[in-house]
Amino acid sequence: MAAETTIILPVRGFESGKSRLAKILSVQERTALNARMFAHVFAVAREVVGSDACLIVSPSQEICDLAESVGAQGLIEGGYGLNAALEEARRAVRARGSDGILALSCDLPLLVPADIEALLGAAHDVVLAPDVEGGGTNALLARGSAQIAYRFGPGSYRAHVHEAESLGAGVAVVNRPGLANDLDLPGQLSLLNNLGGGWQPAA
Ligand SMILES: Nc1nc2c(ncn2[C@@H]2O[C@H](COP(=O)(O)OP(=O)(O)OP(=O)(O)O)[C@@H](O)[C@H]2O)c(=O)[nH]1
Ligand SMILES: O=C(O)[C@H](O)COP(=O)(O)O
């Protein structure tokens, strides 16, 4: 039977992601950091919906192989950035009949299962989790025919609200620490204290 909600996890190659941290972390350190954050978010997603309701979209064969080794679906993207990758993933998910599609960022060190459950429990067609500043979108759940265009990039939260309003879809907003605190900048590295070791910068 098709899953009620499928979670799409978009992830850049571990070596290339989090380029805004390149001034303070080496490529090896950023690789470890990205791998650690992905492992965390993926584990939480699997705990809530199960591996077979997770689709990882990435330019990295290694990451897709990793996803498939634990029963999730891996999809290699065509290479045109985050929004295009998510659209490709959404087509794949819809082809298998899932009703709800949750696009979830993989840079959320504080994420816990109750965060995803809060998104799934919101009774609206479009459910958004903005970042702490209200600029970006860290999670976007769209149900049924309310499949709004992905507008990730600067100001994406307002853009997603606008897309939903244009479609006449009801919007719920979920504000929780685990969803709002994405890690982008050096000043946010302390968020990683929530995770175990494996990413620490060299002394
Ligand atoms: N598949 C895929 N995922 C992406 C792409 N760009 C960003 N992501 C993922 O989208 C989520 C949010 O991305 P950002 O906060 O922009 O992270 P980032 O691109 O690694 O960070 P910067 O390089 O500092 O901009 C993370 O899970 C990223 O891995 C892309 O082109 N393709
Ligand atoms: O809304 C977005 O585009 C993504 O969450 C990434 O935003 P960020 O680069 O501010 O993390």
> 21-52, pLDDT tens digit by residue?
999 999 999 999 999 999 999 999 999 999 99
Task: Name all residues whose Cβ lies below 6 A of ligand 2.
Answer: 105, 136-138, 152-153, 156, 182, 184
Give the pLDDT confidence of 88-127 residue by residue, as tens digits: 999 999 998 888 999 999 999 999 999 999 999 999 999 9
Backbone angles phi, psi at 133, to 5 degrees: -85, -10
Give the residues across from 54 on adjacent strands: 7
Q: 5-193 in CATH: which number?
A: 3.90.550.10
- Atom in ligand 1 nearest the alpha carbon of residue 19: 23
| Residue 10, ligand 1, Cβ within 6 A | yes
| Residue 143, ligand 1, Cβ within 6 A | no
| Distance from C-alpha of 29 to C-alpha of 22, rounded to nearest angstrom | 9
Q: What angle do the packed helices 27-49 and 113-121 form, to 10 degrees?
A: 50
Which residue's alpha carbon is at the smallest distance from atom 1 of ligand 2?
Answer: 136
| Distance from C-alpha of 24 to C-alpha of 134, rounded to nearest angstrom | 26
Q: What is the mean pLDDT of the chain?
A: 94
Residue-level pLDDT at 98: 84
- Atom in ligand 2 nearest the alpha carbon of residue 20: 9
Q: Which residues have C-beta within 8 Å of that of residue 189, sequence separation ≥ 6?
A: 21, 183
From the CA of 182, how far away is ligand 2's center (Å)? 8
User: For strand 137-143 and strand 100-104, is the pairing parallel, antiparallel, or unpaired?
Assistant: antiparallel
| Residue 88, ligand 1, Cβ within 6 A | no
Residue bearing the bigger pLDDT, 192 or 198: 192
H-helix or E-strand spanning residue 131: none
To the nearest 10°, the Cα dihedral for 174, 178, 183, 187?
A: 110
- Atom in ligand 1 nearest the alpha carbon of residue 86: 1
- Here the tokens at position 31 are 């690789």
| Of the candidates 106, 135, 139, the residue with the CA atom closest to the CA atom of residue 34 | 106
| Residue 142, ligand 1, Cβ within 6 A | no
Residue-level pLDDT at 8: 98
| Of the candidates 37, 5, 9, the residue with the CA atom closest to the CA atom of residue 21 | 37
Q: Which ligand is nearest to the CA of 140?
A: 2
Dihedral sign for Cα 8, 43, 192, 200, please: negative
Which residue's alpha carbon is at the smallest distance from atom 29 of ligand 1?
Answer: 11
